[in-house]
């Protein structure tokens, strides 16, 4: 039986399990509440130049350090800003806020509280009323090019306006880091002081691992299957089925079950066809290019000159550590840091892709490393105090 035929038989079973909510091994169901954002968290909305509304959530400390630039956190592919705050322990925005950073969490278009295409109303199994109000009738498809051209500039400019700062620091996980590379290549670094890319696969070494090698063969199925349905299926079965895709995104020995459930239930979003197609090209060629093929983001990483932190996980099957290391060598930044999280470097375990933020020991091992790196690079020599 070929791969597509197998998936065509498997998917109805997953759907049935989703609808029934049937748990496995008599382990019962578990309720994973949405981590409430404090009253001090305020949500802003920025309109992009192509008419989308982008939500940005501000975690403002009581007394922001007037000598530091604000920090923007950006989620990766198929997620929303809740990725950074899955439970009280794995709450990176609050961690930075408590350290004195004016921290902003962006929801890219189609994610979280940002505008969503109208087809989400039909396809989402658990669409929320507040999302219906932001449904869009036009511009139903997008890819990373729109994030780079429109979403990132809108987020950066809103944060600069609200804080009164000329520059911001950007911390992106996976796609959230990739689109900052694209932004720097297209718009320059006038508004960005420093940049941390966490597991961002700008390069996928050849030959790729078997999972990435085979993904292009699933193109037809991937366009039919809703990402949210798969997530709800995982939650309904308490993540008893581990697909090859799961292996791409996390080390199962490094993420607690309640955190995985929170990721499925609160942070996972559907993917538009263009984004799927662009991701498949990356998997097939090993390079990050524009949808029309006219611009090669991978080939232009040398334009990055600002201070940069590149983080990789030893067993990250998506943001391959050797690919991240190669980007480290290609960027032109004089101040550049590469950090591999794994046993060989004294960490508690070999980290996977999402584990770099949601792993069991990430709050103790990864969070402090990022904060210490930011502490040395976010100081402003002079300027007006923040708003």
CATH code: domain of residue 48:
3.40.50.1820
Residue 29 lies in a domain: no
At 338, the pLDDT band (50, 70, 90 cuts) reads very high
Residue 2 lies in a domain: no
Residue 309 lies in a domain: yes
Residue 149 lies in a domain: yes
Place of tokens 């909510």: 21
Q: What pLDDT, on a 0 to 100 scale, did the predictor assign at position 140? A: 74
Closest by CA to 78, choosing from 245, 253, 209, 238, is: 245
- What total number of domains does the chain contain? 1
At 17, the pLDDT band (50, 70, 90 cuts) reads very low
Concatenate the DSSP letters of all residues of 96-159 into one string: HHHTT--EEEEE-TTSTTS-EETHHHHH-TT--HHHHTTEESS-----HHHIIIIIHHHHHHHH
52, 141, 295 from 279: Cα distances, Å = 22, 14, 15
Say if residue 207 is preceded by a cis peptide, omega within 30 of 0: yes
Gap between the Cα atoms of 18 and 65, Å rounded: 47
Residue 201 lies in a domain: yes
Write down the pTM of the prediction.
Answer: 0.85
Distance of CA 45 to the CA centre of its chain: 19
Give me the phi and psi of 39, to 5 degrees please.
-65, -20
Q: What pLDDT, on a 0 to 100 scale, did the predictor assign at position 88? A: 93
Mean of the pLDDT values across residues 243-266?
A: 84
Q: What pLDDT, on a 0 to 100 scale, did the predictor assign at position 265? A: 86
Tokens of 336: 């550049």
Domain residues for the domain of 96 are 41-375
Q: What pLDDT, on a 0 to 100 scale, did the predictor assign at position 118? A: 62
Residue 23 lies in a domain: no
Residue 79 lies in a domain: yes
Residue 384 lies in a domain: no
Q: What pLDDT, on a 0 to 100 scale, did the predictor assign at position 6? A: 41
Tokens of 387: 């708003």
Burial 71-102 (b: 16+ CB within 10 A, else e): bbbbbbbbbbbbbbbbbeebbbbbbbbebbbb
Asked if residue 41 has pLDDT above 70, the reply is: yes
Asked if residue 28 has pLDDT above 50, the reply is: no
At 344, the pLDDT band (50, 70, 90 cuts) reads very high
Residue predicted with more confidence, 33 or 141: 141
């Amino acid at each position: 039986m070929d791969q597509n035929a197998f998936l065509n038989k498997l998917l109805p079973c997953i759907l049935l399990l989703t609808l029934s909510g049937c748990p496995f091994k008599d382990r019962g169901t578990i309720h994973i509440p949405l981590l409430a954002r404090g009253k001090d968290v305020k949500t802003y909305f920025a309109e992009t130049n192509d008419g989308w509304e982008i939500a940005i959530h501000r975690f403002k400390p009581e007394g922001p350090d007037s000598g530091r630039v604000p920090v923007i956190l950006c989620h990766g592919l198929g997620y929303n800003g809740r990725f950074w705050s899955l439970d009280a322990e794995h709450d990176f925005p609050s961690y930075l806020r408590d350290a004195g950073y004016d921290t902003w969490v962006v929801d890219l278009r189609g994610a979280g509280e940002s505008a969503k295409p109208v087809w989400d109303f039909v396809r989402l199994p658990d669409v929320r009323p507040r999302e219906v109000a932001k449904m869009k009738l036009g511009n139903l498809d997008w890819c990373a090019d729109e994030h780079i051209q429109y979403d990132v500039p809108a987020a950066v400019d809103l944060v600069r306006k609200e804080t009164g700062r000329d520059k911001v620091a950007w911390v992106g996980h996976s796609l959230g880091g990739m689109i900052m590379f694209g932004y720097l290549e297209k718009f320059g670094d006038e508004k960005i002081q420093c940049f941390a890319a966490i597991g961002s696969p700008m390069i996928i070494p050849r030959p790729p691992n078997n999972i990435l090698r085979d993904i292009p063969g699933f193109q037809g199925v991937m366009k039919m299957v809703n990402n949210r349905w798969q997530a709800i299926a995982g939650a309904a079965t308490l993540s008893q089925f581990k697909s090859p895709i799961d292996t791409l995104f996390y080390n199962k020995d490094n993420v607690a079950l309640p955190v995985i459930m929170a990721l499925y239930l609160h942070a996972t979003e559907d993917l538009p066809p263009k984004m799927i197609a662009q991701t498949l090209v990356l998997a097939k060629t090993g390079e990050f290019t524009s949808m029309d093929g006219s611009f090669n983001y991978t080939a232009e990483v040398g334009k990055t000159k600002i201070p940069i932190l590149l983080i990789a996980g030893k067993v990250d099957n998506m943001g391959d550590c050797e690919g991240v290391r190669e980007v480290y060598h290609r960027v032109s930044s004089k101040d550049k840091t590469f950090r591999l999280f794994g046993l060989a470097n004294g960490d508690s375990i070999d980290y996977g892709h999402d584990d770099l933020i949601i792993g069991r020991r990430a709050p103790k091992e990864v969070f402090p490393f990022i904060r210490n790196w930011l502490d040395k690079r976010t100081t402003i020599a002079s300027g007006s105090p923040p708003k």
